[in-house]
Each structure stands twice: as C-alpha cells, then as structure tokens.
Amino acid sequence: MDNVRVQTKELSFSTKGNGEIIDLTDKIQNALHEAKFKDGIVTCFVVGSTSGITTIEYEPGLLQDLPNLMEKLIPVNDDYKHNATWGDGNGFSHLRHSLIGASLTIPFEKGHLLLGTWQQVVFLEFDNTQRQRTVILQFMGV
C-alpha cells in the first residue's frame, strides 16, 4: 500500500460580494486529479472571517433561497456592535461566517469526491463588497 501523503493547494478567485454563491465542485475535483490522490480527504478551508463553505444542490431556486434564509436569520441591517467598532457595516457577514463555518471535509475514493449527484460544494460570499478570496484545499491520503 502506498504511503499517505499531504499536499496543499490554494483556490484564488474574485467575488462580487453581497451573497454570491460560487460552485467550487469542479475546481476541487480537478485539483484532486492533478494531485493524483486515490483515497483520502480534502480539507476545504476559507481564509478570512466573512465568507463560508458548505454543500447545496446548485440550482437557481436555492441560489435565491439560501441568501433569503441568511437575511432572515442574520439581517444586513441590525444593531451590530461590530459596525460601531469598524464602521464597515459588515457585522452580519462575520456572524454568517461563524454560523456556517470555515471548514468542510470531503472524503474521496478512487480519485472521486464522494458527493451526491445533486450535492455541490459552494463558497458563500457574505461580505458586502467584492473581494479577492482564497480557499485552502489540503489533500491527505494515498
């Protein structure tokens, strides 16, 4: 059996801000192929504290429903103390980040991510302006 090894990659991309949802599935699968792993995990980690990562069925209805849910649970306009500290008005972005979380771990086998057919990996831009973003993909396995 081959030895387990580690390889760290970065996905870098620009976002438009304001609730944009970006499907990362193909990029992660491609990075897995390039790194030539068969069995193991990829840790997907968003760098920074105003975005998030999760899985969803990437279809137009849910691309409206998820931002609507975020606005219902954590509205853009509310009395956030963070806004008083920094004046950048993105307290809601930070709270959405802490709720959804920074890390997602996906197992793979025979070189394929073990996702469902209608289960895509998505980056959630919670910030209120366009941003340059980095997602760490760290592969560990054989």
> Which stretches of the chain bind its own copies, using CB under 8 A?
1, 3-6, 8, 39-41, 43, 45, 47-49, 54-57, 59-62, 64-66, 69, 73-74, 80-86, 91, 94-95, 97-107, 109, 114-116, 118-119, 136, 138, 140-142
Q: Which lies closer to its own copies via its Cβ, residue 54 or residue 129?
A: 54
Q: How far apart are CA 98 and CA 129, in angstroms?
A: 18
Q: How far apart are CA 75 and CA 96, in angstroms?
A: 10
Interior CA angle at 46 toward 102 and 110, to 5°?
Answer: 95
Kind of pairing, strands 40-46 and 103-109? antiparallel
Q: Which lies closer to its own copies via its Cβ, residue 26 or residue 65?
A: 65
Q: Which lies closer to its own copies via its Cβ, residue 12 or residue 61?
A: 61
Supply 35's token pair: 């790194």
Q: How far apart are CA 52 and CA 96, in angstroms?
A: 8
Q: Which lies closer to its own copies via its Cβ, residue 16 or residue 47?
A: 47
